[in-house]
Amino acid sequence: MSPKNFISNVVIFFAAVATILFFVGCAEMEAINTKSLLSQAGFHTVTPSTPLQKEVYAHLTAYRVQRVTMGKRRIYAFKDEQAGIAYVGHEAEYQRYVNLCVQQRVQQDYYMAYSMDPYWSHRWYGAWGYRGMY
């Protein structure tokens, strides 16, 4: 193998590893953020111990907030597969979680507008048209 091909292969390998690490890091940051918001909203952690809890836990999709209905009871659960726990809450906690997500998104939008060049930041909120146009 020529040195030029070897260097190309090494560069491609490191670029692939860096890309994979970037996406894994982003997914982990999102999961950490979600767990933080769930805790702030009042969700509590449960380690599955009974056979029914283990069965429900096994059917949950990892790292997603899901609604689980058992009989007349409706709960919301987030499966943290790596830690082996579930964040569990009721309707009130879920509504607080949704409100916290919206507040965080609004704060991020304000930060983006504030950190932009003043010329563009004044046009940020109307850039995609007025609400109700669609």
- pLDDT score for 108: 77
Between 83 and 115, residue with greater pLDDT: 83
Tell me how far apart the alpha carbons of residues 87 and 110 are, in angstroms, rounded to a whole number.
Answer: 30
Partners of residue 85 on adjacent β-strands: 80
- pLDDT score for 32: 72
Q: Express each pLDDT in 45-79 by its tens digit.
A: 999 999 988 998 999 998 889 998 878 889 999 99
> Where does the pLDDT of residue 101 fall: very low under 50, low under 70, confident under 90, or very high at 90 and above?
confident
* Six token digits for residue 52: 């029914």
* Six token digits for residue 43: 């969700």
- The residues, any chain, with a CB within 8 Å of residue 91's CB and separated by 6 or more, are 74, 76
* Six token digits for residue 51: 């056979």
- pLDDT score for 88: 93
- pLDDT score for 133: 47
- pLDDT exceeds 50 at position 24: no
Write the CA distances from 47 to 52, 68, 80, 100, integer angstroms. Answer: 12, 16, 10, 25
CB 87 within 8 A of CB 62: no
Indicate the average pLDDT of the chain: 76
